[in-house]
Amino acid sequence: MRAFTRTYVTAAVAVAALVLTGCTAPNSGAAPATPAANASDVPDKPSAPVTLNILDVAGNQKLTGPMVDAFVAANPDVISAVTWESAGAPDLVGSIKPQVDSGSLSIDMVMTGTDGLSAGIGQNLWVPLVTDYGDRLSNQEDYIEPAANMQKLAEGFGVVTTYYPSGPLLQYDPAVVTDVPTTPEEVLAWAQANPGKFGYARPANSGPGRTFLQGLPYILGDSDPTDPVDGWDKTWAYLKELGLTINNYPTGTGQVITNMADGTWSMIPTTTGWDIEPRATAKMPASIEAAPFDDFTWVTDAHYAVVPQGQTADKMSAILLLLQDILTPETNAMAYDTGYFYPGPAIEGATLDKAPQASQDVIAEFGRDWYDDLIEEMPKAAPLVPAALVQAFDIWDREVGSGKFEAK
């Protein structure tokens, strides 16, 4: 998932940007605020409006930023201002762990995908939000079924805010790819006949790369698509052979889009959102086409809100109120955005007609008329559980991508 580099400030008065490389909290001359000892210490409403500092490692600001704006505008007595910073998911633990260990938080909430969620769970960085505060997040009862399944992956630590079926799909330049592959075997044959013209990004840094990695075991018929260590023999063999045709793996999906836009590559694995949004925002020619595999399983994806351990009672109160509002149909429908996470909403009733008109117009022009039927028809599977996902990334880095990407 993409990581934006801009800083976004929600408030009448701008708040100074955070410095992620340090461990010092804002107003470092003052003593750190006392963290909430337990759930009973968290009030229904903050004692005074708080400033929230949000770190986005999933490009999620694009979807939830307007939701946060709307809440802040309607509830200035809860949140006075919000700052956003962005970073890559692989950098997340290095940024947050020193803050948690020192008890001095400069980041109050993180918006992440399954990658950052998994890494933080492994390092015991997150507050068990749902476990401790589930009764204050009652709108989770309105998750659509696949989003509810994604919520299970959070193991009680994160809250799903947006959802999409993801992929894997194929995207291609119709001027170059005239006989569109419909199976992984046909993709391999095309890549071998056109070396250097097919590619994807390092899965640990890329939503489409991660989806392609996890979708292949279902398509190839591996013995256990949920076990990358002992159940992916066909997938690892396939990716190694496919890798012989690939010169390098970008460490971000943005470069993949650039490669397609400038003709460096002519075919890539993609997802619904990465097909729609780059064409809608002119990062990629509108003429680029997409196609499904003949027989595949959607590997679903989601964004999560997580809170670093050691949060104060007032800020925790504000975060819970914010998340409860995000999980309402009227607010969650903003997730349609420019198709980046299509469809995007995680909540029942958050339909396209409730989305801003600009979103409705984008989907009408750049959506695919076969997407919705395909989403309904094809089976869906949740991605790997956090520990298995980390294992899959490690195996790919060592056995497939080694020497062809620059690890951060």
pLDDT digits (tens, 9 = 90+) for 164-179: 999 999 999 999 999 9
Helical residues (DSSP H) of 262-328, grouped into ranges: 272-280, 313-326
pTM exceeding 0.85: no
The percent of residues above 70 in pLDDT, for the chain, comes to 91
C-alpha 209/C-alpha 89 separation (Å) is 14
Q: With 90 as the cut, is the pLDDT of residue 119 above it?
A: no
Identify the burial level of 64 via C-beta atoms within 10 angstroms of its C-beta, where 0-12 means exposed, 13-18 middle and 19 or more buried.
buried
Give the per-residue pLDDT at 389: 87
Q: With 90 as the cut, is the pLDDT of residue 348 above it?
A: yes
Torsions phi, psi of 247, nearest 5?
-80, -35
C-alpha 111/C-alpha 2 separation (Å) is 12
Helical residues (DSSP H) of 128-271, grouped into ranges: 129-133, 145-153, 184-193, 207-220, 233-243, 253-261
C-alpha 4/C-alpha 84 separation (Å) is 10
C-alpha 65/C-alpha 59 separation (Å) is 10
Confidence tier at 34 by pLDDT (50, 70, 90):
confident
Q: With 60 as the cut, is the pLDDT of residue 25 above it?
A: no
Identify whether the C-beta of residue 181 lies closer than 8 Å to the C-beta of residue 138: no
Confidence tier at 288 by pLDDT (50, 70, 90):
very high
C-alpha 83/C-alpha 93 separation (Å) is 20
The stretch 25-39 carries a mean pLDDT of 54
The stretch 299-305 carries a mean pLDDT of 96
Record the tokens describing residue 272, joined without a space: 């619904």
Give the per-residue pLDDT at 201: 97
Give the per-residue pLDDT at 33: 62
Give the per-residue pLDDT at 221: 98
The stretch 232-256 carries a mean pLDDT of 97
Identify the burial level of 14 via C-beta atoms within 10 angstroms of its C-beta, where 0-12 means exposed, 13-18 middle and 19 or more buried.
exposed
Mean pLDDT score of the chain, rounded to an integer?
A: 90
Half-sphere exposure of 164 (CA within 13 A, CB side): 30
Give the per-residue pLDDT at 204: 87
Least confident of 117-121, 243-247, 273-277: 117-121
Q: With 70 as the cut, is the pLDDT of residue 384 above it?
A: yes
Q: With 50 as the cut, is the pLDDT of residue 110 above it?
A: yes
Least confident of 16-20, 270-274, 391-395, 404-408: 16-20
Q: With 90 as the cut, is the pLDDT of residue 97 above it?
A: yes
C-alpha 230/C-alpha 378 separation (Å) is 26
Confidence tier at 59 by pLDDT (50, 70, 90):
confident
Q: Using alpha carbons, select from 401, 218, 369 the residue that is nearest to residue 300.
A: 218
Confidence tier at 9 by pLDDT (50, 70, 90):
very low
Q: With 70 as the cut, is the pLDDT of residue 3 above it?
A: no
Confidence tier at 407 by pLDDT (50, 70, 90):
low
